[in-house]
A and B are shown apart, each in its own frame.
Chain A
Amino acid sequence: MDVNPAHIVTVTDFSSETLQSMIAHLEFSTAFEHLVYREAELDAIWTITGFYLRAAPDSDQRRQVNHLHDGAHQAHDLVADGRPREAAAILRRFL
């Protein structure tokens, strides 16, 4: 996987591929700018899962997405706190 923490991961869905790319970028992020990009990606995941949850009927998948939505929020706050590797560990639970 091509990982450059100075690039923003394109987040158009919450697939495993997208999450894997985000996790890999979180692992390599150190600078202020990197953390800003990671926060933007997590914001995007939280937004996309939020839109899904508004429309989805009650189901197992909905419950899983709900967990991911909450996990993205937690990971977001960890990145904001300068702890990207802990944020990566949270996302890894959803692979």
Chain B
Amino acid sequence: MLSQQENELLTETNCGTPAGQYFRRFWLPALLASEVPAADCPPVRVKLLGEDLVAFRDTQSRVGLVHEFCPHRGASLFWGRNEECGLRCVYHGWKFDVNGACVDMPNEPPEYGFENKVRITAYPTCEYGGLVWAYMGPADRIPELPKLEWARVPAAHRYVSKRFQETNYLQAIEGGIDSSHSNFLHATVDAFRVTDSYVEKVKSSTNLRAKYHLMDKAPRFTVKKTDYGLVIAVRRNAEEDTYYWRMTQFLLPSHTMIPHQKGLSIHGHCWVPRDDETCWVWTMSWNPDQPLSSEDRDAIANETFVHTQVDPVTFRPLRNKSNNYMIDREQQRTTTMTGIHGFAAQDQAIQESMGAMVDRTQERLGTSDTAIIATRRLLLQEIRGLQQGQEPAAAHHGDAYWVRSCSLLLSRQIEFDEGARDLMKAEVYRCS
């Protein structure tokens, strides 16, 4: 549980709030590079941390991210013309470059020199891992880019999707690091009941998750604070002399990784506040060794795992609140716990059902919520630290993000951090 004051401190990220200041100390995913695919292409709306912005790619292929509304009379620059290294407001012709400078003001006499006095708020951007990232903090505190493995593999080795979620970012993160929910929310009915036919089916499986994840429904949690955030280690009973361990990273300010098994693709998320009641869910799948396999591509196309189909303009999932996530009650009765297709839609349905911003003073937590408690405490510590003038160290140590999630069987005598040390290092073998 949290106090009301703590809940507000963590969840409110608009301009001027403590958590808003904290997020503004990091590079944040802002849009897919493919949303602004070519020089002088149409601008797109972007909302981040409560700020309405417009992104455009100028004639020199630089990406600008500026406040949506023209400082003249407040007209939206979304309607603007992207022309000759600037975005021109179509109301009175004022034009702004990627740095926010007003470079033309045709409705004022040139001798007034007004254009030299006017600026629009513009944020630095960079392209990295197929995304446009934005930095919205003070100009003298520009951080390092996080050295995330998915962003550094060749483009054919990764797939990144973006979806709109109608909840505060924090409850989305809390879903991402909560290992125990997958025994229920993402399970089939057979797996949940651990039926004989299910046990027979997974007995010889080489997929550890399929084999062991559902056999022990009350996993034990261990957390460790790290340079990048937290590693959350979850232990389940496996064979008599072994435990099945799953290691998830929470990387400041809001990245997570799903435990992966060596040899299979890796998946992760970044949860970025759009405003206090909605967030952008970025989902990444990557294979450091080779291009994504046809099985990976099929899972993406068929929405069976972490990606979901979205409206190409709004990024709202096609399975959404307004159509009850296309729930199939017959499938729920016979096959899966939710009757909702795909992990992403299952997560979204449950998280949105909790309301846009959960009242955490009313929760009933237990020891299976240890990872959630740790994440909140770490974020609170970081946010309060910044309030007292302590800059977030992780923002300036991009190398700290060079890690990888993992899952493995370990002897019951071996501690996870010793047994999994090598597996938790990122390695890009054929990085271009």
Chain A residues in contact with chain B, CB under 8 A? 6, 8, 10-11, 32-33, 35-37, 39-41, 43-44, 46-47, 50-51, 73, 76-77, 80
**Residues of B close to A35: CB separation below 8 A:** 377
Known: A8-B220, A33-B222, A50-B364. 5 other contacts (CB 8 A): A32-B374, A32-B377, A33-B225, A36-B373, A47-B366
**Residues of A close to B225: CB separation below 8 A:** 32-33
Name which residue of chain A comes closest to B377, CB basis: A36
- Some 16 contacts from A to B, beta carbons below 8 A apart, are A8-B221, A10-B367, A11-B366, A32-B377, A33-B224, A36-B223, A36-B370, A36-B374, A36-B377, A37-B370, A39-B377, A40-B373, A44-B366, A46-B364, A47-B365, A47-B366
**Residues of A close to B301: CB separation below 8 A:** none
A8 touches B366 (CB 8 A): no
Name which residue of chain B comes closest to A10, CB basis: B367
Residues A33 and B1 in contact in the complex (CB < 8 Å), given A40-B369, A80-B377: no
Q: Which secondary structure dominates where chain A touches chain B?
A: helix
Residues A41 and B367 in contact in the complex (CB < 8 Å), given A32-B225, A36-B377: yes
List the 3 closest A-B pairs by CB distance, nearest first: A43-B365, A47-B364, A36-B374
Q: With A and B bound together, what is the CA distance between A70 and B221 in angstroms?
A: 26
**Residues of A close to B195: CB separation below 8 A:** none
B3 touches A8 (CB 8 A): no
B1 touches A76 (CB 8 A): yes
Residues A33 and B366 in contact in the complex (CB < 8 Å), given A39-B373, A43-B373: no
Chain B residues in contact with chain A, CB under 8 A? 1, 3, 6, 220-225, 363-367, 369-370, 373-374, 377-378, 381
B223 touches A33 (CB 8 A): yes
A43 touches B1 (CB 8 A): yes
CB proximity of A10 to chain B, nearest CB, Å:
8
Name which residue of chain A comes closest to B225, CB basis: A32
Q: With A and B bound together, what is the CA distance between A40 and B223 in angstroms?
A: 12
**Residues of B close to A46: CB separation below 8 A:** 1, 364
Name which residue of chain B comes closest to A11, CB basis: B367
CB proximity of B227 to chain A, nearest CB, Å:
13
Q: With A and B bound together, what is the CA distance between A11 and B313 in angstroms?
A: 49
CB proximity of A28 to chain B, nearest CB, Å:
17
**Residues of A close to B1: CB separation below 8 A:** 43, 46, 73, 76
CB proximity of B173 to chain A, nearest CB, Å:
16
Q: With A and B bound together, what is the CA distance between A65 and B75 in angstroms?
A: 61
Name which residue of chain A comes closest to B368, CB basis: A40
**Residues of B close to A73: CB separation below 8 A:** 1
Instruction: Select A8's contact among B6, B370, B381, beta carbons within 8 Å.
Output: B370
CB proximity of A26 to chain B, nearest CB, Å:
15
**Residues of A close to B369: CB separation below 8 A:** 40, 43
A44 touches B224 (CB 8 A): no
Name which residue of chain B comes closest to A41, CB basis: B367
Q: With A and B bound together, what is the CA distance between A71 and B367 in angstroms?
A: 18
B3 touches A43 (CB 8 A): no
Name which residue of chain A comes closest to B374, CB basis: A36
Q: With A and B bound together, what is the CA distance between A80 and B363 in angstroms?
A: 16
**Residues of A close to B367: CB separation below 8 A:** 8, 10-11, 37, 40-41, 43-44
Residues A44 and B370 in contact in the complex (CB < 8 Å), given A33-B224, A76-B1: no
Name which residue of chain A comes closest to B372, CB basis: A40
Candidate in A6, A40, A73, A77 with the most chain B CB atoms within 10 angstroms: A40
CB proximity of B103 to chain A, nearest CB, Å:
50
B374 touches A33 (CB 8 A): yes
CB proximity of A53 to chain B, nearest CB, Å:
12
Name which residue of chain B comes closest to A36, CB basis: B374
Q: With A and B bound together, what is the CA distance between A80 and B366 in angstroms?
A: 15
Q: With A and B bound together, what is the CA distance between A44 and B364 in angstroms?
A: 7
**Residues of A close to B224: CB separation below 8 A:** 33
A43 touches B366 (CB 8 A): yes
CB proximity of B202 to chain A, nearest CB, Å:
28
Name which residue of chain A comes closest to B6, CB basis: A80
Candidate in B222, B363, B367, B369 with the most chain A CB atoms within 10 angstroms: B367
